[in-house]
Structure 1
Amino acid sequence: MKKLFIICLSILFFTNANAQENSELKFETNFYDAINKWVVLPKKDNDSLYTYGFIYIDISAGITFNLGGSFFIDKNNKYIGEAQPAYQMIIKRLDNPNIVKMSILGDDKVKELNLTKEPDWLSSYKFSEDSVENLKQLGYHFNHVGACEKALLYLNKGYQKEPHHKGLEFEIAYAHNHLGQYDKSIPILEKALKNDSKNYSFYRELGYAYSKLNKLDMAEKTYKKGISLSDSNFEKSEMAVNMAQGYFLIKNKAKFDEWAKITKTYAEKGSQYAQYIDFFEKEWNSKR
């Protein structure tokens, strides 16, 4: 029964249903904006119960939902709930940006459901934001679900303390690139490479930023260096296909062909990047 409930809960997180909304329940909050809050998940019109739980961050594993229980709303707008047994803790890692939006439980309703503002077990997951490693981990977890603006709040704080902390510069550059802030990504990566010139992931992000700013000569030089340093064919194919796309967009056939060939050298047959090249080539040939 526990296994079945976990499966149903997982489906609920990704169901885009027309939820019955009580006047106090507004399903408008992204899960990553509800850290350390009790939240309610939307339900389908034919469901009788709402599911609620607590969202927190496990610094090693990421943003997490801990099932609290379920409730219904009576005719007097009172929340009548049944708590999940303490010995049956059910959690779900929230690692997908497409998870449904939720409603934060107001303080009065938290009390009405006989809940404390924070569950007792949360103390086991407390961590210090004075630690640069923890700040980097927070940035990583928020980047992972596409909440890059929130990630930068923690990453920049860590950067002020220890700019070359392992993994920190990459997460900052990744966040800026994701947000289209390529001009902010480049100086971070240039400084990172002065400190660690053999890190191919820095070249990958730097090449991407240059390509998006249409600095294709710089992007090409950077990607070639990154490919020479990487021992991952997947990473090599990712860098190569980005370069091929850059030349496809400016209609430089000779350079496109060069990078299409490099992509095919490293991309697995039928992979996403190989399919991109097939698409570009078909598009080019169809316009002749």
Structure 2
Amino acid sequence: MNKLAFLILIYSINSIFCFAQNDSIPLKFDTKYYNAVDKWVAFPKTKKDSTYTLGFIYIDEMAGFTFNFENSFTIKDQILIPTKTDSVSKIGYIKSRLYTDTKNVAIINSKQLKELNLPLFPDWLELYKRDDDNVEYLKQIGYLYNHVGASANAIEPLLKAYNQQPHFKGLEFELAFAYNATKQFKKAIPVLEKAIANKNNDQLIYKELGYAFMNLQDLEKAENAFTEGIKNAKDDNIKAEMAINMCSVYFNKKDEKKYSKWIKIAKQYINGTSQFSKYVTYFESEWEKQKNN
């Protein structure tokens, strides 16, 4: 056997071994918690742990994404073995709220549910469910998805609510926000324009409208939306954010007239403690450098 053939053989054996090692645990911890709603899941264990943590993820309408601990299990010959024959939920609830830094989970598949003696859904889940046609409930679910950065998941419940009652308080903003967050700017615009036509002058409506037009490079309409937004806004931070958005566009385009206009507007609403003061400092410093080069 020549050297090259020998190296290829070693590589093949190592590859098989690595695959076998990775495949020895019949769980894939590759799912964000917000993509595992209404699912049984397991969390990865540390080297110190002897068992895996098992539970169910659901949405508490008021508290948000929640993990209900049910049991723990071990793995033997790729079979999941529960450590307790009775679910913890029969004697009490152990709940944990889930946040953006929550580790990825593994979804328990149908075969594994049988191994762990679990139903498709726990009986207590009904306590946290409302009618899927309830507009307030659907809007809240969408809000919770938006709030954790899972706007792609927010669109379905929000759109379902919107088709029933488009001008429900806060709904138009949440749907438009979800569209903008997923770069569906053209879908956000009619939602926002209809809101304004219905005399919804909320500052956030104008902020999202300006943002959508800005990303579509329709800068005249973006300016108009932000200008109206600043007139209607009560929060100086929101006013500053809208102005900084336009300022950044014209800064990048090197349009001195427009840049000067919007940096001046932004500075009206920014004080030393504002989160946007650093942007003004950066823009002014870099603008001077550009002018001097």
Q: Where on the TM-score scale, by shorter chain, does this alignment land: which range?
A: 0.7 to 0.9
Matched, 1:39 2:49: no
Match of 2:187 in 1: 184
Q: Deviations over 1:120-143 (max 9, x none)?
A: 322211211111112211211222
Q: Map 1:66-145; keep pairs closer than 5 Å.
A: 66-74=68-76, 77-82=79-84, 84=88, 89-96=93-100, 98-145=101-148
Kindly provide the amino acid, as one letter, of the partner of residue 47 in structure 1: D
Is residue 81–residue 113 contact of structure 1 (8 Å, CA) maintained in 2?
no
Question: By how many angstroms is 1:275 displaced?
Answer: 1.1
**Whole-Å separation in 2 of the counterparts to 1:202 and 1:215:** 17
Residue of structure 1 aligned with 2:61, choices 48, 59, 62 = 59
Question: By how many angstroms is 1:67 displaced?
Answer: 2.0
Task: Mark the structure with the bigger radius of gyration.
Answer: 2
Residue 272 of structure 1 aligns to a residue whose secondary structure is coil
Residue of structure 1 aligned with 2:220, choices 217, 222, 233 = 217
Residue of structure 2 aligned with 1:175, choices 168, 173, 178 = 178
**Whole-Å separation in 1 of the counterparts to 2:143 and 2:23:** 33
Instruction: Please identify runs of 4+ aligned residues in structure 1 that moved more than 6 A.
Output: none
Kindly provide the amino acid, as one letter, of the partner of residue 96 in structure 2: K
Q: Which moved more, 1:127-136 or 1:57-66?
A: 57-66
Q: Which moved more, 1:162-171 or 1:142-151?
A: 142-151
Is residue 240–residue 267 contact of structure 2 (8 Å, CA) maintained in 1?
yes
Question: By how many angstroms is 1:244 displaced?
Answer: 1.1
**Whole-Å separation in 2 of the counterparts to 1:145 and 1:76:** 34
Match of 1:25 in 2: 27
Change (3 A) 1:85 1:270: same
Question: By how many angstroms is 1:37 displaced?
Answer: 1.1
**Whole-Å separation in 1 of the counterparts to 2:89 and 2:271:** 48
Q: Deviations over 1:179-230 (max 9, x none)?
A: 1111111111111100024222111111111111222222122112111111
Kindly provide the amino acid, as one letter, of the partner of residue 37 in structure 2: I
Is residue 185–residue 212 contact of structure 2 (8 Å, CA) maintained in 1?
yes
Change (3 A) 1:30 1:21: farther
Kindly provide the amino acid, as one letter, of the partner of residue 81 in structure 2: Y
- TM-score computed with the length of structure 2 as normaliser: 0.82
Match of 1:13 in 2: none
Percent of aligned positions with the same letter in both sequences?
43
**Whole-Å separation in 2 of the counterparts to 1:284 and 1:90:** 55
Change (3 A) 1:76 1:193: closer
- TM-score computed with the length of structure 1 as normaliser: 0.83
Name the Cα RMSD after superposition.
Answer: 2.4
Residue 158 of structure 1 aligns to a residue whose secondary structure is helix
Residue of structure 2 aligned with 1:276, choices 266, 270, 279 = 279
Kindly provide the amino acid, as one letter, of the partner of residue 217 in structure 2: N
Question: By how many angstroms is 1:104 displaced?
Answer: 0.8
Matched, 1:148 2:151: yes
Runs of at least 5 residues in structure 2 that lack an aligned partner in the other structure? 1-21
**Whole-Å separation in 2 of the counterparts to 1:213 and 1:84:** 52
Question: By how many angstroms is 1:100 displaced?
Answer: 2.5
Match of 1:237 in 2: 240
